[in-house]
Amino acid sequence: ADASRARISTSEEGDDSQIIRQVAEHYSSRSNQTREEREASPIIHLKKLNNWIKSVLIHLYARRGDAVLDLGCGKGGDLIKWDKANISYYVGVDIAEGSIEDARNRYNGDTDHAQNRKVFSFPARLVCADCYEVPLDEALKDVPQFDVCSCQFTLHYSWSTEERARQALHNVTSMLLPGGTFIGTMPDANVIVRKLRDADGLEFGNSVYRVEFDDKYSEKRFMGLPFGIQYHFHLEDAVDCPEWLVPFSKFVALAEEYGLELVMKQNFHEFVHQYIQKLEFGELMRKLGALGDGTEGNTISDDEWEAAYIYLVFVFRKKGTPKLR
Ligand code: SAM
């Protein structure tokens, strides 16, 4: 049944390569911001919160000496987090040429802030490719399998068709060692659908984000299509492009087909409430200034906190027994 539904979805959308190019161009064209520009961002506390969440995830699930594959690595914003985790090797892949160029510069220390030049303690390879189209096990044949695969704020770009979602999961599982860990963050489709139900029309949002569906939405939901449910996402100073809903139960069922078992799933709010209680993570939150110092204008705004509710954290484990190292 799923295969025939996917066919309907593909023929309805026609060739989606143009939309995929739109996503790549959107991210490619986003220029690097200076420290001052970053601090002036209307979503500065949300960005810091996202960084805290990714840092905690990495701390919880990566071990010293791990080899890491970062799918949709963007401008390499997580390189420092992986350095702190004392990993042994890193491969980052992204569809956006401009982002890969920025990530290479960041890794090589060629940034605007030469005084903050960072020397990373692990070798890295940065590759420009469509992770949801290209079989990475063939493209990266010479690379040994990985202990961790990380997919931060990017997996939802694979749910335009069943073929792409399957290629994404094939890539994750074929690149992971048995017992390897698959971690990520992505929009929480349950929250989005609930908000849409309460909305007046086909859109909702606040001063920092907006989600807009087109009128094909109800038709597709009615047909129970799990793939190709597209919306336009705008996040102030960050994202402005098409995205696709990832119904979580379908994601878990499909991942299972690829030998990936769900370990945990939490909405960002739940994750923050749980891990902020732990001393070291609470301290990291204070250091990053994600929640600010509580004074007005220097704390996460209600609108940013609501935008955080749009996302979830997931962890899967590839079946099999890990080799002792
Ligand atoms: N992971 C980074 C982070 O957490 O900062 C970047 C997240 S950004 C919101 C989403 C990234 O996914 C962009 O860099 C974009 O180019 C990348 N992306 C989208 N579709 C992709 C695809 N088909 N293959 C590889 N990367 C893709």
Q: Is the pLDDT of residue 164 over 90?
A: yes
- State the pLDDT confidence band at 113, using cuts at 50, 70 and 90: low
> Does the pLDDT at position 310 exceed 70?
yes
27 lines ligand 1 (CB under 6 A): yes
Counting atoms of ligand 1 from 1, which one is nearest the CA of 93? 25
Asked if 228 contacts 10 with a C-beta cutoff of 8 angstroms, the reply is: yes
Record the tokens describing residue 255, joined without a space.
């991942």
What's the rounded mean pLDDT across residues 50-70? 98
Radius of gyration of the chain (CA): 19
- CB 185 near ligand 1, within 6 Å: no
Distance CA 160, CA 23 (A): 12
Query: Cβ(28) to ligand 1 under 6 A?
Result: no
Query: Which residues pair with residue 92 across a beta bridge?
Result: 70, 126
Residues 227 and 249: their CA atoms lie apart, in Å, by: 12
pLDDT band at 291 (very low <50, low <70, confident <90, very high): confident
Tell me which of 33 and 283 has the higher pLDDT: 283
CA of 49 from ligand 1 middle (Å) equals: 18
CA distance 179 to 99: 30
The minimum-distance atom of ligand 1 relative to the CA of 130 is 24
Of 151-160, 177-186, 209-218, the range with the lowest mean pLDDT is 209-218
Neighbour tally for 56: CB within 10 Å:
22
The ipTM of this complex is 0.99
The H-assigned helical ranges of 109-160 are 136-139
CA 73 / ligand 1 centre spacing (Å): 6
Instruction: Take residue 2 and report the two structure tokens written for it.
Output: 């799923």
Q: How confident is the model at residue 1 (pLDDT cuts 50, 70, 90)?
A: very low
Q: Is residue 216 within 8 Å of residue 12, measured between CB atoms?
A: yes
This model's pTM is above 0.80:
yes
Ligand 1 centroid to Cα of residue 281, in Å, is 26
Strand, helix or coil for residue 67: strand
First to last CA, the chain: 43
| Ligand 1 atom with minimal separation from the 96 CA | 16
Question: Ligand 1, residues 58, 94, 166: which to mutate, most atoms within 8 A of Cβ?
Answer: 94
What's 147-191 look like in SS3?
A: EEEEEECCHHHHCCCHHHHHHHHHHHHHHEEEEEEEEEEEECHHH
Least confidently predicted of 2-11, 141-150, 243-252, 281-290:
2-11
Q: What is the DSSP letter of 259?
A: T
CA distances from 190 to 161, 279, 298 (A): 19, 31, 30
Mean residue pLDDT of the chain comes to 90
Calpha distance 255→314 (Å, rounded): 12
Identify which of 292, 163, 318, 300 has the alpha carbon closest to the alpha carbon of residue 226: 163
Q: Which atom of ligand 1 is nearest to the CA of 50?
A: 4
**pLDDT band, residue 36 (cuts 50/70/90):** confident
Q: Which of 82, 83, 33, 55 is nearest to 287 (CA)?
A: 55
